[in-house]
Amino acid sequence: MKADVVVIGGGVIGLSTAYYLAKSGVEKIIVAEKKYLGSGASGRCAGGIREQFSSKPSIRLAKKSLDMYERLSDELNFNILFRQGGYLFLAFDEESMEELERDVKLQNSLNVDSVLLEPEEVKEIVPELNIDGLLGGSFNMRDGIAFPFPVVWGFARKCRKMGVEIRDFSEVSDILVRDGTVRGVKLGNEIIGADFVVNAAGGWSSQVYHMAGLEPYNKPVKHEILATEPMKPFLEPMVIDLTAGLYFNQSMRGEIIGGIGIPESPSYQMGSSLEFLEAFASRVTKLMPKLKGVKVLRQWAGLYDMTPDSLPILGETEIEGFIQANGFSGHGFMLAPIVGKLIAKLIATGESDPLLEPFKYDRFKEMDVEPEHMVVG
């Protein structure tokens, strides 16, 4: 069997890429997902989408992606439950406050309308917050949240209507390379020839690199998250305590959903821990006393596909036709629409958009790209 493109990974990155490939006129596209669609990070994240980043490459990409998210329900003809209540960053120490000041200045220079806030102004946005010890914050009303599964389902439905073949529970076991060029994949017992193979496997993308004989620069790291019982809606923005690495928001159904960063070694272990629950509960109830006594209904984990500079790996490699869309370091859901569109353009036309240049695979040989610091959770 022969395909024009095989996309490895059935999350938002892989499905977005397949959709924009089909939209570009590429005819034979196969998406291979080893479990069910959205079984990786796409179905395990909080759904946040923001422009507030600390590096120029991230901000430029995120701004374009947010533009697309604002229109995505209409484009896919599928309600992704996108709402824009803003992102509220909080700083409780001098280092975090200085970082917010630098970041907002950079964001403003790139036409992102984030603002610095005094503690009393933070309290006006979320009156329930305890601002004892707070030095300040930043806020961007345009940032928002989408429900992850409808984004996955919307892209998947549109892909199928456009003739994309989606194979779930189908694991790629090998990448076929000859004379420095990708030739296809081994999918189960089947050999599928392909002119292009896209590695959109998220936390498992390092394994795909190995299959092709390349050294991966990214590593999977477990991050936990939880959801509480529903409460009467009171919280509009995503709240991020930059000092503690904590984030939380309230879903449309009223649950508080959030996480906090605790040290983890690279692995594929995704079990829940009491250490995470204690750390999250201790910090979030201090920050928002209203949450004391609220019951936790569910706790789970996913993988951040981390790179040395916390920026994704996008585009070509030394193996012709082997295209990367991975290493998102917790930001894949946010960037999926624009990344899918740019990767599709690269494959369909051979043109690499300038937005992709900072994210090239071989950048780690020089490490000449400014790292992204706004990695939370």
What are the pLDDT digits (tens) for 310-364? Answer: 999 999 999 999 999 999 999 999 999 999 999 999 999 999 999 999 999 999 8
Res. 278: pLDDT tops 90? yes
What's the rounded Cα separation, in Å, for the pair 358 and 283? 36
Residue 233 burial by CB count (10 A; 0-12/13-18/19+): exposed, middle or buried? exposed
| Structure-token pair, residue 124 | 């006006």
Residue 120 burial by CB count (10 A; 0-12/13-18/19+): exposed, middle or buried? exposed
What's the rounded Cα separation, in Å, for the pair 313 and 218? 9
Mean pLDDT of 275-280: 98
CATH 3.30.9.10 range(s) for the chain read 85-142+220-306
CATH 3.50.50.60 range(s) for the chain read 2-47+149-218+308-365
> What b/e sequence results for 127-138 when a residue is b if at least 16 CB atoms lie within 10 Å of its CB, and e otherwise?
eebebeebbbbb
The owner of tokens 């549109």 is: 158
- Looking at CATH, the fold of the domain delimited by 85-142+220-306 is given as D-Amino Acid Oxidase; Chain A, domain 2 (3.30.9)
CA 36 to chain centre: 18
| Percentage, residues of the chain above pLDDT 70 | 99
Whether residue 57 contacts residue 369, with contact meaning beta carbons closer than 8 Å, is answered with yes
Q: What is the pTM of this model?
A: 0.97
> Closest Cα partner for 39 from 165, 170, 228, 164?
170
CATH superfamily, domain 2-47+149-218+308-365, is FAD/NAD(P)-binding domain (3.50.50.60)
**The pLDDT of residue 367:** 63
State whether residue 226 is helix, strand or coil. Answer: strand
Res. 368: pLDDT tops 70? no
> What b/e sequence results for 183-202 when a residue is b if at least 16 CB atoms lie within 10 Å of its CB, and e otherwise?
bbbebeeeebebbbbbbbbb
pLDDT tens for 59-102 read: 999 999 999 999 999 999 999 999 999 999 999 999 999 999 99
